[in-house]
Structure 1
């Protein structure tokens, strides 16, 4: 500072008695560059020994030194989408002349983030322009299938089935994500698609992540399809070698129309005569290579999940898939009544459990979540075992068993079969029951230390009760009764809408933690926001699909700058080769 120099200062101003104080944050000479005062001011994340004023000056001078920043998007595309030039966007995002210019710059840079993300998803999935099966969908076949059901499809099921059948009739390979809450009737819709495939003399496969779930699907599909002459077979890892050989032979000869199984479906011994439709349930529980192993021969692909995924996340994580949603429950299904308790009222939960067990009902108790690592898996086993002992003391007249992740698959299956057969009253379990467990006699779930779970996971767990048609209950016991925790858990207490719950979970926890573990392939967004930028995401996804449909490997001269930028961004997140 020089004596007599006029400066502009900014900071917090306070008055104490007669003393006036200004805690200076920034200052600059009047009439100079004025980067920190008198304008919309950029605020940067700073490293050590770095000031906002220094970084602003550095960015300003860097931008001044550049002539025009080259734009990777073709001019025709920018004009069509009414997007600002990259040069304008980068200058205005740092030093905007006004709010309108800042909004234009943000829109362009967010669009770029989502466009390059969608291009990566489409290109790495290899599903940008594949030719698939072409099925004939006959009205009489649909009438036969729908007429054989003991219920009528809901309006949402009919809408989703129409979307799936339109895909099956087109020459492009179907790649569709079917979302629907537990009990919304996804299996009936999948059965209709598998029936159409069978009527076209093509085979169908349904792959589930666990043997329990595979057996449930096998039973349901047998009930729907066997009376219509469709031969359904089960293939799991626990079957004896001789049984498996017989199934392999029937699959290869075409004697089997639909095969239901676990990862046993993707062993090299399994050779389909002609696989036309692959249905993958709870797809995120399989590895990428496991999923691809089922897709040899380019069958149409239907992915199902009962995990409600917010639309924005579905469009990015599953950018290569079209999204269908069953957003309506069958008539007569009663919503699970949910109650939130603190540790002080915990005994009330077990008093209620005692009453229901006395009436002949069964109960799930979920042990607190412990993040998985080798040491912590043992801690989770210990926590579940100790909780089971405590529950046995709280409910002395009840028969209590424990289920945890260290048990072998056949042990888990045998225990769940005993629970389904009402051999005991209370199952104390870790989150291994989260997906696909169907126990009609269970109508109460108690979740201990509920604050350790994400909202979407709590909703999934809650869906395990009430499968027998009677009123079901879920009690959340909060170990932490802080205001913030209780406010979050009240979302579950007040709403049974899985998509609303998932949206709130996304807002509270962010995309990386939505399922408890960070999803690979979804980078941290610098400007884009998955909770508020759905329109931009949809526009970017539609643009990415259109670009690749016209130029699958971006070889056209006008796409070379786009391709270079895509490679640079891919390398920034560790993807060496994209195209």
Structure 2
């Protein structure tokens, strides 16, 4: 065609060829057939002319292969080395580079979105959907409404306004029923070059009625000859500026055409689980036929996400490890209960039964013990340590701080000494002589239980026969520190991890995929609930007037400085500033300051002095979140409470009312917006840590699953931990069954799962576990 470049001819050919492929190669997108169009436009491309010879007479699958090869030629990739016929039938593998899906000028767009492989494109899920099966007519639009509609461009112009620097692109358009509407873009003059008169646009924006019906356009795309943007439930993808939705839909659609069908990682289990086939789910998540198909696709792909997460946790932990089998005699259990100075709750009885069953099993116990502050976790841990000692083995309890370790030592001695079990304390602050004596008693077996901090995993510490490891407040340790403790055992010891931070079950199952979960969901009788009040910032002085009254009664007070961000330096500034202010506000009150940048020994000294009653009020950062019992502490005040999560605030108020006195918590809201106050009021309404944790999860989301301590855990793309507990439990049960049966995932039915785990490891940068 005279005056038309080859690049222009390629561009004219690309759209109808893509549309034909998307339509299933049924030769109906071009009047007169696709072969006639190619013969007219592709004269400079003899290979294309040869490819499309007799196109209308070919079987449908052969047409698809012709289209795929034609697109490869047009996009400059050329035929495969083995010849045209073989190249035309080539399918893309998930590990193939994503740029094979896009023409050269568009490949940068995929890289900007982090889409490096075909698998990345297939798993670039829509963030939402628009139902464009029946788009509204302009006639029915109301002012202020946000709408999406299809319109035909009649005329366009650039309008300069009296306002300096303001330009409007105005496009006169009409819908399919002939109703006129003006499309408006503010200060986007380049839009003019992207719109052709006579083209059909899909536009989204806010409706206005100034000077007639208008749409202030937020997003638009040229429908062109494709059918991916209208007449269906349309995916809207996460994108960046310059990357259009139309481009992403075409790219994903092409990936589905060229990569599917893929092996189904759950082929051996899918039917029993009632899940949609993998290939169908990938198609339906991007281009669902209806709402039901989308729902089933979400369920299937969520299940896959959680299964991979659980498998990684189990494989990283070594799968189902064979340990030792402990004896549990009823007489021992009764003796332990009788020695206690108080009756057990039903929850404690239930969890002790779960632990006893685990310890009797030949497999290593790996259990998370969750319980709200004051629910009696230490007694349950003492029971497990008691069973280990009765079997001739030793136990160790590792705590995050020295003062907490001392508290555990005192409590465990109180529970276990009457039963003839010696508890040993090992701390970094002890003298060399004290440490040497303690380590000698552990190595000889004279001491059956060790309690300590990181000192337990320092060089030189050994046990005669470590059979049980208890880790308190595991989130304060790294996984590597937990493993260092386990290495002190000759054979895999049983493991009990304790946490006083209530975690919703769904989050616990994903955070601790390698652990069974036990919950103490009942408080011992006689525990007085902490009374909680939320105050706006303008009333904060009332909180300190109340603090002065509590101090006059001989009680003690915690004041927590606002959590500004993850910065010890800024948190220190917040704490010291508040400390200086309170010195002037509360004359005669003995104040102390505690923050995270203090050396561990100094922090312990301040807390110990506060416990002794040397100070009336302690100004602190959140280092008191996990702390010791201060029996006289009756009030905690938290400044800028809106900067904390609900679960963290609940943890903080657990610092008071532990000595039988009525406890009070006052949360001061620096921002008094309705949304902030509504969130904080949940703490006024409930003292149930697990309910509060569930609400926190719904309101704030899970955040990063294991933070920097367990880097590499993938973010959930589809999963919703606030809603998916049932799915997670099923995925976890299957993961355990798979690892139990095939710890290396080498059986034929597990090879696709293994490949997905490896691909995931490459994507997010964590080390392979198989």
Q: Give the TM-score normalised by structure 1.
A: 0.94
* Separation of aligned partners in 2, 1:515 and 1:460: 19
1:63 Cα deviation after fit: 2.2
Kept in 2: contact 1:11–1:26 (CA 8 A): no
How big is each residue's C-alpha offset from its partner over 1:76-111, in whole Å with a ceiling of 9 and x where there is no partner? 211221211111111111111111111111111111
| Correspondence for 2:525 | 331
Deviations 1:404-425 (A, max 9, x none): 2222222222222221121221
Q: Which moved more, 1:262-271 or 1:16-25?
A: 16-25
Distance 1:553 1:538 in 2: 22
Shift of 1:515: 9.1
Question: For each residue in 1:113-164, what CA deviation from the matched residue of structure 2 results, as whole angstroms up to 9, or x when unmatched?
Answer: 11111111111122x1201121100000111110111111101111111111
Hey, what does 1:247 align to over in structure 2?
438
- The number of residue pairs the alignment matches comes to 572
Matched residue, 1:81: 273
CA drift at 1:72: 2.3
Q: Which residue of 2 aligns with 1:282?
A: 473
Tell me the residue number matched to 1:102: 294
Residue aligning to 2:242:
49
| CA-to-aligned-CA distance 1:27-67 (integer Å, 9 cap, x gap) | 536xx653222221111112332222232233223323445
**Is the 8 Å Cα contact of residues 478 and 709 (structure 2) preserved in structure 1?**
no
Whole-angstrom distance in 2 between the partners of 1:524 and 1:300: 30
Report the equivalent of 2:417: 226
Pairwise CA RMSD of aligned residues? 2.1
| Cα separation, partners in 2 of 1:34 and 1:227, compared to 1, 3 Å | same
Deviations 1:467-511 (A, max 9, x none): 101110011111222222222222222221111111222222222
2:706, 2:614 → 1: CA distance?
Answer: 33
Partner of 2:227: 34
Question: Shift in Å at residue 427 of structure 1?
Answer: 1.0
| C-alpha distance in 2 between matches for 1:242 and 1:10 | 79
Q: Which residue of 2 aligns with 1:418?
A: 609
Query: Which secondary structure state, in structure 1, belongs to the residue aligned with residue 486 of structure 2?
Result: coil
User: What corresponds to 2:639 in structure 1?
Assistant: 448
Cα distance change on mapping 1:521 and 1:322 into 2, 3 Å: farther
Q: Which has the larger radius of gyration?
A: 2
Secondary structure of 1:255 counterpart: coil
Query: In 2, distance between residues paired with 1:62 and 1:386?
Result: 57
Q: Secondary structure at the match of 1:76?
A: coil
| Residue of structure 1 equivalent to 2:336 | 145
| Distance in 2 (alpha carbons) for counterparts of 1:289 and 1:263 | 12
- Of 334, 341, 359, 1:168 maps to 359
Residues 561 and 575 in structure 2, CA contact (< 8 A), matched pair in contact too = yes
CA distance in 1, matches of 2:200, 2:537: 59
The CA distance in 1 between the partners of 2:205 and 2:564, in whole Å, is 44
Contact map agreement 2:265 2:749 (CA 8 A) in 1: no
Mapped to 2, the partners of 1:382 and 1:56 lie a distance apart of 50
Pair 1:81–1:379, CA change in 2 (3 A): closer
Gap runs ≥5 in structure 1: none
Q: 2:555 corresponds to which residue?
A: 361
Q: Answer whether contact 2:561 2:574 (CA < 8 A) is retained.
A: yes
| 1-structure distance, mates of 2:509, 2:711 | 15
How far apart, in 1, do the equivalents of 2:711 and 2:198 lie? 55
Query: Displacement, 1:389?
Result: 2.4
Match of 2:311 in 1: 119
Matches within 5 A, 1:147-226: 147-226=338-417
**Cα separation, partners in 2 of 1:23 and 1:457, compared to 1, 3 Å:** closer
How far apart are 1:265 and its partner, in Å?
A: 0.7
Q: 1:33 to 1:205 in 2, by over 3 A?
A: same
For 2:304 and 2:404, locate their aligned partners in 1 and report how far apart those are by CA, in whole Å: 40
RCO comparison, higher one (Cα < 8 Å, 6+) = 1
Q: Distance in 2 between matches of 1:353 and 1:443?
A: 9
> How big is each residue's C-alpha offset from its partner over 1:280-327, in whole Å with a ceiling of 9 and x where there is no partner?
000111122211011123110000000111111111110000000000
Change (3 A) 1:246 1:91: same
Structure 2 spans left out of the alignment, 5+ residues: 1-151, 155-196
Aligned counterparts of 1:303 and 1:205: Cα–Cα separation in 2? 12
Give the structure-2-normalised TM-score.
0.71
Q: CA deviation at 1:392?
A: 2.2
